[in-house]
Amino acid sequence: MKRLPLVLAAAAVLLLLAVPPFLKNYGIYLFTYWLVFVIATMGLNLTIGYAGQKSLGHAAFFGIGAYTVAILMKAGFSFWLGLPAAMAGCFVVGLAIGFPALRVQALYLAFATLGFNTAVWLVLRNEEWLTGGTFGINNIARPSFLGLSLARPLAFYYFTLGVTALLAGCLWRLLASPWGKAFTALRDNPTRAESLGIDTRAYTLLSFAIGAVYAGVAGALFAPLVEFIEPAPFGVNASIMMYLMVVVGGAGHFLAPLLGAAVGVLLPEWLRFAQGWYLFFFGLAVVALMLWLPDGLLGIPERLRARRLARSARAAVLAEPREREA
């Protein structure tokens, strides 16, 4: 049983390495696009799934990352300066937003981030001198890595894959460390965690800010991937979409971002037949999904196990009716 996930993971890695060279450019683009959202949702999964904070403004950080890189690159700086700047910017802004909101209730963070996202979107749209307004910023060049140009789709895909793997490794280490344990402790029982000496506010704040950094990296990769950015992909709808990706995948499962981002990126492609009705069906799908699978796709095995346990427990009770009566 223990070996199955490892085999699956190895097969997945092999697929990710071997399949894209056989794809057309659009296929490679979709794969890269998916990886970018995997990175973003990894951060959100840390915030929502492991630390239990309800963040509904992840696309704002995604946008801050993308615009930081784009603006710096347009000003003549290298991508390799833009990336750390994007990360640092998201971390600081994350702390500034999280600090007041986290003072009260988890629910308040949801509202604060939602409003924050609207505010960021307004800045992106209105401050034309900086962000280009609704015209956006175009011709964002792809960077080079150790002297290798990443201009070709395949090269950029492998670069993104490498970054994804690196960030996944960091997250894995973080979750296995005492810090990570503290995150989950305060998700499961904040009051108890606090009484055990965990400074809940510092940890929740940190989990939120680290999640924001992941979104910043994703944004920094998104800008050179699509080569043209404008405010639309960083609005409230995008945040909600990312939130859904995490929940659909199964918040708090390490692999949730892989599945959730795939659903989130592919769903619009599948629902193209619906045309004008697309978002209507999308919304209904979300409601239906929550009703059937409130713990997401990766919650299915646990649910099946729970049902099996319940069934055997019931069978045990039925087998000994006398004992129960007594």
* 3-class secondary structure, 229: strand
Between the alpha carbon of residue 260 and those of residues 5, 245, 273, the distances in Å are 18, 4, 21
φ/ψ of 137, rounded to 5, equals -120, 125
- Choices 17-25, 74-82, 115-123, 301-309 (CB under 8 A): range interacting with another protein: 115-123
Residue indicated by tokens 């960083």? 234
Output 116 or 208, the one with its CB closest to another protein: 116
* Residue 233 amino acid letter: P
Per-residue contact string for residues 11-50; x = within reach of another protein by CB under 8 A: -------------------------------------x--
First to last CA, the chain: 40
* 177 Rama sector, left if φ>0, alpha if ψ -120 to 50, beta otherwise: beta
- Cα distance between residue 265 and residue 269, in whole Å: 7
CA atoms within 13 A on the CB side of 73: 27
For residues 67-106, which are near another protein according to CB under 8 A?
100-101, 103-104, 106
The reply on whether position 277 binds another protein by CB under 8 A is: yes
Per-residue contact string for residues 285-324; x = within reach of another protein by CB under 8 A: xxx-xxx--xx-----------------------------
For residues 214-233, which are near another protein according to CB under 8 A?
none
The reply on whether position 244 binds another protein by CB under 8 A is: yes
Output 139 or 275, the one with its CB closest to another protein: 275
Query: Do 297 and 255 form a contact (C-beta atoms < 8 A)?
Result: no
> What residues line the site for another protein (CB under 8 A)?
48, 54, 100-101, 103-104, 106-108, 110-112, 114-116, 118-119, 122, 125-126, 191-192, 195, 237, 240, 243-244, 247, 251, 276-287, 289-291, 294-295
